[in-house]
Amino acid sequence: MKIGFIGLGRMGYNIALNLLDKKYEVVAHNRSPEPVREIARKGAIPAFTAEELCKKLPKPKIIWLMVTAGKPVDETIKKLLPCLQKDDILIDGGNSNFIDTVRRHGQLSKRGIHYLDCGTSGGLKGARYGACLTIGGNEKIFKKLEKLFKDIAAENGYLYTGPSGSGHFVKIVHNGIEYVMLEALGEGFDVLNAGPYNLNFREIADVWSHGSIIRSYLTELAVEAFKKDPKLKKIRGVVGGGETGAWVAQYAKKWNVAVPALETALKMRKLSSKKERFSGKVIAALRNEFGGHEVVKNKK
């Protein structure tokens, strides 16, 4: 199977490599050319414009989008429209707001173009070796591409969730839960750090990863983070991100669902640039581990 792939950022680049490992032909395009040249050296077919990408794909075209949510997705689709035809398939694997996804699905459906939304989680490691995917859209089109999703997902790590937007909806809620879990871990280590004992945080994260109620991928990543920097002295507790979690909080308010833990996690992220907290350092370090998100280094 030959697939067009647009967006070679941290996640996109690793998904493209995952596809290449599974023997898919990948026609790769990115706004800046260097990632295209780099992945071409690893077996992808380079395309330096949307038009070139379309010309290198068979009909019906299958194109995976992995670009920043919001306006960049609309701009990418706009660039593709002149070369898209009836029965072509677009897959949005980014963190789009599900309301935008439903709108795009409706607009493209009028042209006979299929649009699947694919919530993609698992961080950089998941993208590279086996992601967790939640897919929304036309079920017949999902079934047509099911082998593709199965091939790049972790074992039992993909799910058809329902109509258009449902895959992205499930993903943003996943992100909201992630924010709360990160905040809880951060607060726990903050209390340990303030306590009367000289504790080894790497060892604590490690033992918690073996049999404890709170064991998780995040505790495993905490082991790696503390291994590199035992007391996180090299970084500041500035935490970025927050958009998808904010969407969840907004929808929860609209639907009269109480989400105090999420609201607190979002509030603490906003405050992280103003007040240094050890919990912020933990969250920043964990985000760097699973997603390659940039950390603010201490100048000392």
Residue 100 DSSP code: H
Distances (CA, A) of 3 to 25, 57, 63, 267: 6, 7, 6, 41
Half-sphere exposure of 203 (CA within 13 A, CB side): 3
Q: Is 79 a catalytic residue?
A: no
Active-site choice (2, 38, 178, 299): 178
Tokens of 79: 């660039």
Q: Are 185 and 219 in contact (CB under 8 A)?
A: yes
Residues 266, 123, 262, CA angle at the centre, nearest 5°? 20
Tokens of 165: 């937007």
Tokens of 34: 């260097």
Active-site choice (23, 51, 171, 281): 171
Q: Is 224 a catalytic residue?
A: no
Distance, in Å, from the CA atom of 291 to the CA atom of 123, rounded to the nearest integer, reads: 5
DSSP calls for 14-75: HHHHHHHHTT-EEEEE-SSSHHHHHHHTTTPEE-SSHHHHHHTSPSSPEEEE---TTHHHHH
DSSP calls for 114-177: EEEEEEEESHHHHHHH-EEEEEES-HHHHHHTHHHHHHHEEEEEEEEEESTTHHHHHHHHHHHH
Just list the catalytic residues: 171, 178
